[in-house]
A and B are shown apart, each in its own frame.
Chain A
């Protein structure tokens, strides 16, 4: 550590005003503050200094994502072994397979996103902002495992430029950047973002795994994808790649086909616990998303009809399947794009839950609605806050008038 500090101090003059590498000062700054606590202190007035700055917040969110990431790797391997019809399930090989399958996506997502951030920071003469640390991890986690890498790159670039930088960078974006990337992929390349091919890796990687066998009646579609195409009066039964029925327990553990990191409700809950324990995420939003989702799921379950096959799955499964839980814990709680007043957070979360299930059940074109629900509510979050603040002002004004 000491050597690193000395080295940084040695090269620092080059980046200061008049130095040779002055043009790259924000890059240097970014790395220095990434490695060490900034030494700068305020020069005037009294400040309360909290070490819980945005860098630490971001790192905690990334840590909370680690269980999902690790499980996603394991699950990617597991689904592949199911697809090749090999029942030995070697633990380390599966984990390694999943790791190698997701690694390029993570690298590309970070390289493109951080690259754009660095360039923009340089161009504006600002410090590098750390907002992309979380986004760069979220993007691989919410995409199907087989998404081509160049698509990830294009979507990341689009989302960072058009959802974040044009609004002024980290902290000013209206929409959740990772979800904009996901939405871009969903609408631009629908063939690669849904169906029964993309959610399971099919190729061998460095000799690991094998060629998948295509058996009749076996599908790699996500449970929600299967439900959306279900026909008939009976409740839909979803199968995994080996043709076995998927139970609620499987959905909770997460050994089901789906976007890379969002299959396991268990790991998401571990992440949620980390976020809540450290106070990074807001419990009001998470709770009200689940309450809203449960309410809408119960309602649709009570009014079930064969026209909307998704209305025939019970409310517990509704909350387990798809990206609902992941979106509730990691997307809806984004402090930048969500509502900020306490009452507003209840309304915001509740409506996300309701809309996610509403879209999932009653719009058969979209098997999952969590992404669209959150993006829509992102747009309404400032309005909700405005109304809450205004009603608060009105209430207090009335109190003042009465006293007079």
Chain B
């Protein structure tokens, strides 16, 4: 990208123009897995923001002392440590949600967005821009997670954050929740629709 790297662009670019999910198509697996309901999607989004921001900062601080040939291992150790902390915090304070998220908090370690940002940004930039980059990319990921989770919970269960949104009146008149929305294929199609809308707005992102 030709534009100058400023703190502002580092923070806000991943929201839309360089969104990790709908533009770089990273982290799709967890988007499919945790978005059946809005609440786990929200928690997952916050967890990824936290892990990504702090691992970016830590790696950025260490960037001049990490030997190049073992940098991936060092990055993994840092991410793994942060993920364990997040996992334990969730188990302590949000046990129900951590049950729903099950293995996927642990699998943040393997989320391509993390390794991608550490390699591409934190290894070459100062801690403060790295922190902003982590927050920005994490938020870009969380936004997509929340949009997908919103539609999947609304259409699949008729609820939002566990509260009944679609009134009983509709069910009495024959409305039925769409069971396919709960299944992963519909998450993929929802992401595809978001990409469709996003590319229609940002015409310069369209591939030939």
Contact = CB atoms under 8 A, between A and B. Distances in A.
- To the question of whether A and B form a pair in one complex, the answer is yes
A184 B180 CA distance: 7
A191 B189 CA distance: 23
Residue picked from B174, B180, B181, B189, most chain A C-beta under 10 Å: B180
Contacts of A188: 178-181
Given A150-B174, A151-B176, A187 B183 contact: yes
A148 interface: yes
Contact of A190 (B179, B181, B189): B179
Interface size bracket, B side: under 10
Contacts of B176: 148, 151, 189, 191-192
Contacts of B180: 184, 187-188
B189 A189 contact: no
Contact of A148 (B174, B181, B189): B174
Contacts, number: 20
Interface in B161-198: 174, 176, 178-181, 183, 189
Contacts of B183: 187
A182 to B, nearest CB: 12
Interface string A293-332: 0000000000000000000000000000000000000000
Residue picked from A148, A188, A189, A192, most chain B C-beta under 10 Å: A188
A380 interface: no
A189 B183 CA distance: 12
Given A187-B179, A187-B180, A162 B174 contact: no
Interface string A174-203: 000000000010011111100000000000
Nearest to B189: A162
A184 B186 CA distance: 10
Contacts of A191: 176
A189 B174 contact: no
Contacts of A148: 174, 176
B175 to A, nearest CB: 8
B91 to A, nearest CB: 33
Residue picked from A148, A151, A187, most chain B C-beta under 10 Å: A187
Nearest to A191: B176
Interface in A202-251: none
Contacts of B178: 154, 188-189
B6 to A, nearest CB: 38
Contacts of B181: 188
A187 B178 CA distance: 8
Residue picked from B176, B181, B183, most chain A C-beta under 10 Å: B176
B172 to A, nearest CB: 13
Nearest to B176: A189
A151 B189 CA distance: 19
A184 B183 CA distance: 11
Contacts of A184: 180
A192 B183 CA distance: 17
B186 to A, nearest CB: 8
A266 B192 CA distance: 43
A148 B189 CA distance: 24
6 nearest A-B residue pairs (beta carbon): A188-B180, A188-B178, A187-B180, A188-B179, A189-B176, A148-B174
Given A148-B174, A154-B178, A189-B176, 6 more contacts: A150-B174, A162-B189, A188-B178, A188-B181, A189-B179, A190-B179
20 contacts: A148-B174, A148-B176, A150-B174, A151-B176, A154-B178, A162-B189, A184-B180, A187-B179, A187-B180, A187-B183, A188-B178, A188-B179, A188-B180, A188-B181, A189-B176, A189-B178, A189-B179, A190-B179, A191-B176, A192-B176
